[in-house]
Every structure is written in structure tokens, then in C-alpha cells.
Amino acid sequence: MSDYQQLATSYLDLWNETDPQRRGELIRAVCRDDVSYVDPLADVHGTQALADVVAAAQQQFPGWRFRQTGPVDGHHAQVRFTWDLGPDDASAPVGGFDVLVLDGDGRVRHVYGFLDRVPA
């Protein structure tokens, strides 16, 4: 498994973690303290703000999980991958891709999220 693949897996794990304390630990392990996260619905800075966005997504879509849907691509300090969000036993109504920008230590500095498919 490449470092980029492992990073994408760890990043999606933090989005799927429902225990707030464990989620915070995962965020701090993967991201810088001053991480920025921007998607069409959010623009936040810092690990606590990212944790709040994750918690809000879990509240909006209870029981749904993020799944990587394609290969992870990366070069230099950038990683991109596609994902779906939905219940485990059905097709996923939400999908998109994220670009992670890393610092010199391989930790996430910026996240740029794009939504390709959302429910009406």
C-alpha cells in the first residue's frame, strides 16, 4: 500500500469514526493543527472545526459511511481520490473527490472537497 493510499484510508477513517474522542485523535494524527477544509458547504480552519464538520455530516446522514471508489493519485505534496457516501447496504447517493495538500512531514495542511453527486 502506498503512502498516498494509506493517507487516503486514514483520512476516510476519521470521517467514519463516530466516537468524538477517537475521531479527534485520528484528525490530530492525520492533519496539522491549523488544517483548512473547504468544500461547497464548509470553509473551516483547525482540527476542532474539522471535527465539527465531520460530526455535522454524520448527524445529517446517520449510519452512512464514506468509501473510496477509485485509485488514489498523488504527486509532490498533493493527493486526490474519489469517494461515495451512503448506507452500507445500498447505492451511495452522495459522491465526490477530495484533494489533500500535505506539509513537509506528510500531514494534511489543506483539504479541497468537491461534490459530484448530491441528493435533491
93-114 as b/e: b if 16+ CB within 10 A: ebbbbbebebeeeebbbbbebe
CA-CA distance, 98 to 30, in Å (whole number)?
Answer: 15
Is 112 strand, coil or helix?
A: strand
Report the domain count for the chain.
1
Residue 1: what pLDDT? 44
Question: What cell does 92 get?
Answer: 451511495
Q: Which domain holds residue 51?
A: 3-117
Rg (alpha carbons) of the chain, rounded to whole number: 13
> Tens of pLDDT along the chain (120 residues)?
469 999 999 999 999 999 999 999 999 999 999 999 999 999 999 999 999 999 999 999 999 999 999 999 999 999 999 999 999 877 899 999 999 999 999 999 999 999 999 987
pLDDT at 2: 62
What CATH number is attached to the domain comprising 61? 3.10.450.50
- The DSSP-derived string for 34-48 is EEEEEETTEEEESHH
Please give the model's pTM, rounded to 2 decimal places. Answer: 0.94
